[in-house]
Structure 1
């Protein structure tokens, strides 16, 4: 196995029995499949029929439609987040349902195909996070956000939940296959535009991430047990932001090749990292969605770029092999 094979998720349902984990579910027209705000960890794929996605907090506005091959419920499945929207069947539908517990059992027995499926889901969430960051930058140019109520509390809520490390930094295997960085103030981990895919896991200290193309707009401050660089690690695209150390920090640099080697040497640790990344992405996407709801951007919807980004953020994940 090599990193190209691990990150090639084109025919994901044909990998190692993943398709057999799904349960077929039939629903009639007009049925609520998931309800905004409810707990749940099931993931769904539309096999036939059509569903609509509804924002109950936005006066019941329909914000997306789902057709054959579209996936929903990934945030709850990966991170245990409350349902971010209501999904209702618009026609009689046949769905494929995947529950988290049997998937985790499968993952522990079939680490490679299970990890590839996680990477597939996480790449989709990364794409939505990229759009959310771009929206925040656009909106900040039109509003003074310094006094916006609730934003500081949202950030505190997310960071308070970020207490479990992605990896045990003291494990001897990591000393053999990873590179430790003992960084000083203002040291750059990666810069906007670079074509690198390293993941940086913070053990001590803080890292700030900024959008240099937007005049140094602050996208986030990340501390112990958090990670930066996950977007490019998963999707391989050029860096869309710059990460700098604030103060002194201890950081573990983790590469794609390292993940492949870890799967071969200690699959349980690799699985823990993959599940942890999924949970981290779900929290960040939840934070992004809640932040955008707090911002007053209704009057900005007529701007073409804002409208385009909002539309692309709502685009659903699609399993191509169903088509």
Structure 2
């Protein structure tokens, strides 16, 4: 039996040799996504033809239909189950397509969870399933670190919050900032301010790392216009006693003022599908709009349209502070962007007295780099005189970033100017690799409609997911095990593996390795580790193929066909779940034609060899 084992081992190595070859190629050749997509489709066609011509047709010709059906189903279910299990530990990072599929599945589950939480609010319970889905799709999901201030008293309320995970504490300014509510997963907050158009009357602060879904007022009012049942439910809500008590106790409106606002609101809802503000806020929005494009130290406003600047102005809080008041201390998290309207502010470094303090003037922004990166402040900012300024909270900025494509592009333009990279390296002690990684992640998030990454969270995450390399390696191995079993069984039955199957496996493994190596490189894996991982997978596939032929020695043809069918079922599942999605995600050139060409190459090999 030794020659059979050696032949199986050699065949396993041969069909997997294109894996390290693909990894090495990725070092010197980095083709466009479309080229990789076309190659992947070509490989998928070759593997499909080899599976059909050598495995499926053989079982059909020999009459092993039961073995083919049962083995194929078992192979498919086994691969799917193990693949999903390993994805939980980071195996999905091995390919862009598997990463995208994992994220899509996570987002779908997330969507269903949000749907359940939205139903908890009485105003939304009367909505039809279609209206609920529309509402849920308007939600913006963001992550906040512990101690993040979500909003402060007097700030405009443009958002309804739903706590997905973590804990939030509400503080009462009328009771010396004493906590009066501890919020947990599923709780909805800022309700009263949101539905009355009044400024926030409390402080909300994250006491742990949180994930929060937010419903922008603009999106809600768009739904009021097109969803009659939501409009009617809102009319019923504003006429209720809870709203009246909130305006009476928190904002000290008289009952006549409340009655007049309720009547006006019902009329506005019926005629214009809008909720007028119960309490107006003077945030000097018009003055901000006039000077927005002249703001220094953060030149993102000059790229914006008037409507974008107006949207930002509506979120600003206007403050007047006396000389000597501190805006933030060195080491604090940057949760607010400040823009001076009048007066002067001094920025100094308490740890370096020799470092000259910087005096800021009207139209200067400050706290801007910490604000954008999520890093801690490297200086302390103090009012050098009486100061009037605007404040924009991090939460409002992130919501605006998701809603405005122009703001998104303006931030991306600023990031490309290089100031952020220097700041991270010189002030936050980032290495060049870390600052480049943050910048690349920022571009990816902006292009994907996400918020900017947190520099602090990124540093912390470097120590997390230590098992991801192992999970990725196991994922690569799982993709190749079905091939090894098929080779082992085929070598035993026919004394060797056909040129058709070897060619199909070799051709399909090359673009798979090329694509996966690119994905691992994007995750920060060094080249030597990538090549080593692929070489070890090649070696193990050879060993498994040899062991398979040894373990199946003396087995009946029925059992050997059953094992081959398990491999065939798993291979076809790999095609459907990883290779073809990869080709489509890469937007490969002529995917259908590429797949057909790969299929025909194997047919020609079968015919002439």
Shorter-chain TM-score bucket reads 0.3 to 0.5
Would you tell me which structure has more helix in proportion to its own residues? 2
TM normalised by structure 1 equals 0.39
Q: Which has the higher strand share?
A: 1
Q: TM-score, normalization: structure 2?
A: 0.22
Choose 1 or 2 for highest CA Rg: 2
Higher RCO (C-alpha 8 Å, min separation 6): 2
